[in-house]
Amino acid sequence: MRILYVGPDSREAAALAAMFAADCRIDYCAAAGQLPAAKATERPDVVLYADRFEALDLRPFAQALGWPPILAIADERDALPFGPPCTGVTAYIERPLSAARIEAALTVLSGGPLHEECPVGYRSPAARRILTLIERYAAYEFPVLILGESGTGKELAARRIHARSARHRGPFVALNCAAIPEELAESELFGSERGAFTGAVQRPGAFELAEGGTLFLDEIGETGASAQAKLLRALESGEFRRLGGSALRKANVRLVAATSRDIRSPGNASHFRPDLLYRIETLVLELPPLRERREDIADLAETFAREASHGWKGFSGAALELLAAQPWPGNVRQLKNVVLRAIVLSDGCPEIGPEHIFL
């Protein structure tokens, strides 16, 4: 592999050369505008860009090199999800650099599979497309908005993005916005200081608890106007204050939000702030309902049954056909409950038949 390092720190380039000494060649260039003519004729496999992070257009630079992927390097303090992107950058990775982190990013960007086997429930074309997007989005630090009906597995998708990302060693903090009273939303998101309101104690909020990891805001479409305004401010500035506090704190999180509400339609503009929507929909993942991925139903049903029953014997062909024919308005969550009910009703029978299935 040939790697071109672009940045003012020659010591970091030397460290990379030592890191990849066995199987890579590292070329060094102090800045994108200082690329020697000889280097421009040699296409690197990847560019590691560690120069300044103003809103640049690196496309002419990439074109001169034959359009290799460009991985932009930044420190954690740069709060990548909130900073302006450089046009032409393929993905962002954070220091400290490691061979494993760089190779993982390249594997995702190349579209190569990260696992030899397709996970259970992702065998249909619709589900495979979602899995591909999940793996690609994991290599980036931009916010993700997951859309889908109730029960389609939005939190599972968010957890997979986190698990495949460079932040996988950090916490994954999930907050259900629909379950929080509007008057408590700010303290749940940003924390509170003692005395901020009646009964308030000093406690961190979701942004602090997710430090260095991923913050998942489920049902973000249910947040009230006040919480939306404060959330927008935190995402734009990368800073926040605890409720009742004066100290300014840095937000070092990757935001993944989800909603079953169609917050992108013009009819919802009065409820959900358009400027907040534009901030969180950098990457969009639309999960298909179960009725659009019927090829996955048998796999999912058998997996749920196997996990719930040690004496599992199997579904009859007629039972699987019946399951595949249903509309499943409750999606995967409804399918799981139907399977668990069928296990109980089929107790003592050699297999689960259509007579055991009730929606």
**CATH of residue 101:** 3.40.50.2300
Task: Give the number of domains in the chain.
Answer: 3
Q: What is the pTM of this model?
A: 0.66
Q: Which residues pair with 144 in a beta bridge?
A: 256, 283
Amino acid at 35: L
Select the more confidently predicted residue: 39 or 260.
260
What is the extent of the structural domain holding 203? 125-286
In whole numbers, what is the pLDDT of the chain averaged over residues? 82
Specify whether 205 is located in the same domain as 221: yes
Q: Report d(CA 145, CA 154) in Å as an integer.
A: 10
Neighbour-count burial of 33, counting CB atoms closer than 10 A to its CB (0-12 exposed, 13-18 middle, 19+ buried):
exposed
Q: Are residues 135 and 247 in the same domain?
A: yes
Note whether residue 70 is domain-resident: yes
What are the phi and psi torsion angles at 214 (to 5°)?
-120, 135
Strand ranges inside the chain, DSSP E: 2-6, 25-29, 46-49, 70-74, 91-94, 144-147, 172-176, 214-218, 239-240, 249-250, 254-259, 283-286
Q: Is residue 151 part of a domain?
A: yes
The pair of structure tokens assigned to 11 is 């010591």
Q: Using the 3D structure, point to which of 241, 262, 286 is the last residue of a domain.
A: 286
Amino acid at 231: L
At 273-332, the pLDDT tens digits run 999 999 999 999 999 999 999 999 998 998 888 888 767 778 999 999 999 999 999 999
- For the stretch 8-46, pLDDT in tens is 888 888 888 887 766 678 888 887 666 655 455 567 878
Residue 120 lies in a domain: no
Q: Which of 230, 257, 286 is the last residue of a domain?
A: 286
In this model, does residue 354 exceed pLDDT 90?
yes
- Interval 206-230 mean pLDDT: 93
Three-class SS state of 181: coil
User: Is residue 111 a contact partner of residue 132, using CB atoms and an 8 Å limit?
Assistant: yes
82 pLDDT higher than 60: no
Residue 65 has pLDDT above 50, yes or no: yes
Residues 148 and 196 placed together within one structural domain of the fold: yes
**Tell me, what amino acid is at 268?**
N
Whether residues 27 and 79 fall in one domain: yes
User: Last residue of a domain, which of 229, 263, 286?
Assistant: 286
Residue 12 lies in a domain: yes
How many other β-carbons are positioned within 10 Å of the β-carbon of residue 84? 9
For residues 69 and 106, is the Cβ–Cβ distance under 8 A? yes
Assign residue 204 the CATH number of its domain.
3.40.50.300
CATH code of residue 349: 1.10.8.60
Q: Which residues contact 61 (CB under 8 A, 6 or more apart)?
A: 32, 35, 88
Phi, psi at 184, each rounded to 5° = -105, 0
* 315 and 252 inside one domain: no
Residue with tokens 């990847």: 46
Angstrom distance (rounded) from CA 14 to CA 16: 5
Q: Specify whether 173 is located in the same domain as 274.
A: yes
| pLDDT reported for residue 117 | 43
Domain for residue 115, yes or no? no
116 is a domain residue: no
Mark whether 129 and 259 lie in a shared domain: yes
Specify the 3-state DSSP secondary structure of 258: strand
43 and 57, same domain (yes or no): yes
Query: In percent, how much of the chain has pLDDT > 70?
Result: 81
Same domain for 262 and 321? no
Task: Show the beta-strand stretches assigned E in 171-314.
Answer: 172-176, 214-218, 239-240, 249-250, 254-259, 283-286
Residue 161 within a domain? yes
Is there a single domain that holds both residue 215 and residue 321?
no
Residues 273 and 329 occupy one common structural domain: no
Asked whether residue 119 is domain-assigned, the answer is no
Residue 85 phi/psi, 5-degree rounding, is -75, 155
Name the percent of the chain in helix, strand, coil, to the closest 5. Answer: 40, 15, 40
**Phi (first) and psi of residue 94, to 5 degrees:** -110, 150
pLDDT digits (tens, 9 = 90+) for 100-130: 667 666 655 544 433 334 565 677 888 888 9
Token pair recorded at residue 176: 């259900």
- Give the C-alpha separation, 256 to 142, whole Å: 9
265 and 297 housed in the same domain: no
Residue that wins the pLDDT comparison between 175 and 183: 175
